[in-house]
Chain A
Amino acid sequence: MPIIIENLSYTYSPNTAFSHDALKNISLTVNDGEYLGIIGHTGSGKSTFVLHLNGLIKLTSGKIIINDIDLSKKYDYKKLRSTVGIVFQYPEYQLFDETVEKDIGFGPKNLGLSKEEISYRVRTAMEMVGLDYQSIKDRSPFELSGGQKRRAALAGVIAMHPKILILDEPTAGLDPKGKQNILDLVKTIKNASNATIIMISHNMDEINQNCSRIAVLNDGQLKYYMKPEELVNYGREVEEMGLELPTPAKIAQNLREQGINLKKGIVKQEELVDEVIKLYKGVQN
């Protein structure tokens, strides 16, 4: 079942001097199994948007239907939260329990699952994120390294077996290798569970790697909702919103403005390299 959002608006502190429209009339549909990227500068409404999707912010205006759960009506919170899992920014700060096993098992336990099922889910979630069950399960989550902590926090959400997995800047603060590990991990999770993935990021290079579509938020409005290779054709507009194009797209855009006849829609570095070499060979002949 897809996610259907119609005319979603949200105002913080309505009817006061601090009233602020965080979301303005957003409508979009996310298909099953899609890998959606959400991008927008700080304060564009990204977080307000995703917090609606698992009911952490109560819907006040518009319509949201997730997996047949209509959020505008009275609904079962537990059912929604076992459907939609959110990994927040710096999730390692949310680890709390005495052992890694208990921490990851906390969510499943609250779903009222049997002991065997909880244990099975913890083991498989740890395996998926690359934490060795035997050697790590009894350790305090606070003794883990930074990268391990983030993986443990991710495992806690994966153990809920969400159909929709939302990640808010999952690679923030990591080095290049750590970043790539997390992106690969998200891909693995997606392939194994066929969950719908929604990833918030500042970094277009990162979003481009995997996303089937990108939603660009600016000042609470949905500005663009399209494939990455379509979005780069609006380069200057995107840059005006304080966002950065993927480096290859940026270079292609500048070269085009210098009068070099590159094809449209270049996103990846291989595409740029191939195009430039093609033109270079043309000049040589």
Chain B
Amino acid sequence: MALIEVKNVKYAYNFNEQDTIIAVNDVSFSIEEGEFVALVGHNGSGKSTLAKMLNGLIVPMSGDVLIDGMNTRDDDLLYDIRRQLGVVFQNPDNQMVATIIEDDIAFGPENLGLEPQEIEKRVDWALNAVGMQQYRKGMPFRLSGGQKQRIAIAGVLAIAPRVLVLDESTSMLDPKGRAEVLDIIKQLRAEQKLTVVLITHYMDEATEADRIIVLNKGKIAYEGGKEIFLREDELKSYGLDVPVHIHIANTLRKSGMDIKNIWTQKELEDEICRLL
């Protein structure tokens, strides 16, 4: 069985009797241990609802979510589920619980009831992992947005989950902050077998993933590799855009240049250099 199994889940928000919005409509997918999956979709496509279902913050109206075989419907398992799967949310300011950074990161492990020495070790390790060791005794409110998100990621890592879910964790950051967070993800992926689910509407971030799931109006519209970026019209019909550098490559190809399929900006530059 896969590490994450989402089976025919459905969820709707009822505002009043006339006003019901079906956010997630019969969605199924699975994610294996060690995978890097991007979950993309326009605003209102259901991505954040799905994220909240992954760690049992909300339970599907029908269907099941299984994390390492544990069903999020079972209240007794929620604690264990959240040890396996940690979520970093959008707003860095809403995720700080303590006034000193090391206390903030220790919050999770403390709640697991770990020994003080073990907590100390995990805080150390997590701060190192996100490159924020020198801020250990600092105060979260003095940090930039990107640094705050790195602390939020460290707080999740300190619980030692197998899956890290980032729910639009870069959307409130400036370009530098976004790059910081993405670099940390890549580094964590390189150093350990962390499974990552990246929820985003920045398509250039999605090009980093191994597999892409596109949500459109609460349903899965596409599931597969990066070749979706070559199909601009299809992506647009889902309310998404092709990253600028891939659009340039696609346009050059149409104009008769023999540009290979590229996914990064560097690859595009190399291709142009090769042909000129």
Are A177 and B42 in contact, with the CB atoms below 8 A? yes
Q: Does A130 contact B (CB under 8 A)?
A: no
Q: Does A173 contact B (CB under 8 A)?
A: yes
Choice from B43, B144, B275 contacting A175 with Cβ under 8 Å: B43
Are A41 and B174 in contact, with the CB atoms below 8 A? yes
Contacts of B251 in A (CB 8 A): 269, 273
Tally chain A residues at the interface, Cβ within 8 Å: 36
A210 to B39, CA, bound (A): 31
Choice from A143, A258, A277 contacting B252 with Cβ under 8 Å: A277
A272 to B43, CA, bound (A): 31
Are A283 and B42 in contact, with the CB atoms below 8 A? no
Q: Does B161 contact A (CB under 8 A)?
A: no
CB distance from B268 to the nearest CB of A (A): 7
Contacts of A56 in B (CB 8 A): none
Are B174 and A147 in contact, with the CB atoms below 8 A? no
Tally chain B residues at the interface, Cβ within 8 Å: 37
Are B269 and A269 in contact, with the CB atoms below 8 A? no
Count of A-B contacts judged by CB separation below 8 Å: 95
Choice from B44, B171, B268 contacting A173 with Cβ under 8 Å: B171
CB distance from B203 to the nearest CB of A (A): 8
A146 to B244, CA, bound (A): 26
Contacts of B203 in A (CB 8 A): 176
Q: Does B112 contact A (CB under 8 A)?
A: no
Are B248 and A269 in contact, with the CB atoms below 8 A? yes
Choice from A176, A255, A273 contacting B201 with Cβ under 8 Å: A176
Contacts of B239 in A (CB 8 A): 175-177
Are A145 and B273 in contact, with the CB atoms below 8 A? no
Q: Does B276 contact A (CB under 8 A)?
A: yes
Q: Contacts A145-B44, A279-B276; is A247 near B252 (CB within 8 Å)?
A: no
Contacts of A269 in B (CB 8 A): 244, 247-248, 251
Are B273 and A146 in contact, with the CB atoms below 8 A? no
What residues of chain B have their CB less than 8 Å away from a CB belonging to chain A?
A: 15, 19, 42-44, 90, 144-145, 168, 171-172, 174-177, 201, 203, 239-241, 243-245, 247-248, 251-252, 255-257, 265, 268-269, 272-273, 275-276
Q: Which 10 A-B pairs have the closest CB atoms?
A: A176-B241, A247-B244, A175-B201, A244-B175, A202-B174, A175-B42, A175-B43, A177-B239, A242-B176, A273-B251
